Amino acid sequence: MFLDFALENYSVMIIPNVISVLSAHDVEVAETLIGVIRFLLIFVAARVLAEVLVRLSLPTIVGELLAGVVIGASGLHLLIPPSAHTSLNQGLVNFISSLASIPPEAVPDLYFETFPSLQAVATLGLYALLFLTGLESELEELVAVGAQAFTVAMAGVILPFAFGTFGLMLLFQVELIPAIFAGASMTATSIGITASVFGELGYLKTREGQIVIGAAVLDDILGIVILAVVVALATGGSLDIAPIVKLVLAATVFVIAAIALSRTAAPGFDWLLDRLKAPGAVVVASFVILVLSCFVATAIGLEAALGAFAAGLILSSSKNNHAIQQSVLPLVSLFATIFFVLVGAGMDLSVINPLDPSSRSALVIAGFLLVVAIIGKIASGWSFLIDKPTNRLVVGLGMMPRGEVGLIFLGLGTSAGLLTPSLEAAILLMVIGTTFLAPVLLRIVLKDKKPGGGNSIPDELAADPVGLI
């Protein structure tokens, strides 16, 4: 996934002479040091900024993303993906050279040659995160607000997607595939962030909270289907009607099958788990389902990412749902951190430098996406009919944060080579902006407002996602 065209070209180049004269032992030592230093940089930077944002009552994933920006291609040049086409920090090069006793000129080549192993770990984090997102859907628990959630979800997908896609094409002459992808990135809603804020304010099991959670689930399903189709089309190089229809139908049938299997296959999975006694049975069995679902998705021409999400949907009705979530969460916290940091590390934010006149168009695009992303979701709060008092502004604001799902879209678009640097930066600012603003605005709107008794959803019907922040 993360091995884009530039990296593939790099990997087949003639090995530099300076590396060929090194002993196998020296190369092994240097590669080990490089790997350890990269992991240390990622986790230390991510934890420091995550702790800062936690104290500000803001999502930690934004801290992980910003950590990548700080140490990556737009910052200190300590963590550089090969696709960034920029040089490593010379201090880091000299440090590795002195520890490994190899010439400084050999360090960058070894650094970039070993980068795919880090990207593979990040891909594992991405799939685990998508699996957890699907697992948290808990579709059967959304019956009480099903109609309203469906209406809000459809409006929350159609409005930002349509206005974002066509606005980019008509106003900024963005090509079709990148415009569609940018539009798709605005369809997502972060369940974890919204659920966390609602839970903190006592609104999670209210009518507003459950409508938002239900709509967010459906938004993620629709958005990831769109994402899988766009990536498959872009990589296949065909925009003919027939392949598009085929992919849309395949993705739709695949997701419907996953939802159906959540009713039929989950009991069999539970039966198997009840008979497994070895430690780690829950997480191993869950990842077997994850791998199989990714394999099937890939085999029928879809993105493995859709398979990972579908695997979560399949197990969402399991009686061991919360046990699976708790066993998978540490892995997500570990590996998804690498994914988010790498997304930030590969960003070239120089394209939105406000002091550079040539960057103004990118800033305008970023502002446009942010406005459409906010208005499109807020408007969805007025899209449904209900005969009970409901705070529609709270529903709209709850749909606003893109969070980890928006970053997943950005990461996949970047790795597939679908986005220009300016559009990458614009989507990044849109995701960060909505993720920051939503919790702040919700706290302002709901400050000192306790939910009324008649506004509560019974516990047996209320969804209660674990959250990803």
Which domains does the chain possess? 5-118 (no CATH), 119-455 (1.20.1530.20)
pLDDT at 451: 63
The whole-number mean pLDDT for each consecutive block of 10 residues of the chain, a chain of 469 residues, reads 42 50 78 93 94 81 88 91 85 90 87 90 88 74 66 90 93 88 85 74 77 80 79 66 78 87 86 85 90 91 86 88 87 88 85 73 88 92 79 88 80 79 87 86 80 55 48
**CB-based burial of residue 469 (10 Å sphere; 0-12 exposed, 13-18 middle, 19+ buried)?**
buried
pLDDT at 143: 55
Is residue 164 within 8 A of residue 186, CB to CB? The reply is: yes
Q: Which of 338, 412, 394 is nearest to 4 (CA)?
A: 412
pLDDT at 379: 92
Q: Which residues are CB-contacts of 150 (< 8 A; sequence separation ≥ 6)?
A: 214, 215, 218
Is residue 72 within 8 A of residue 84, CB to CB? The reply is: yes
Q: Which of 221, 203, 205 is nearest to 154 (CA)?
A: 221
The count of other CB atoms within 10 Å of the CB of residue 405 is 29
Write down the H helix ranges in 138-206.
146-172, 176-185, 191-201
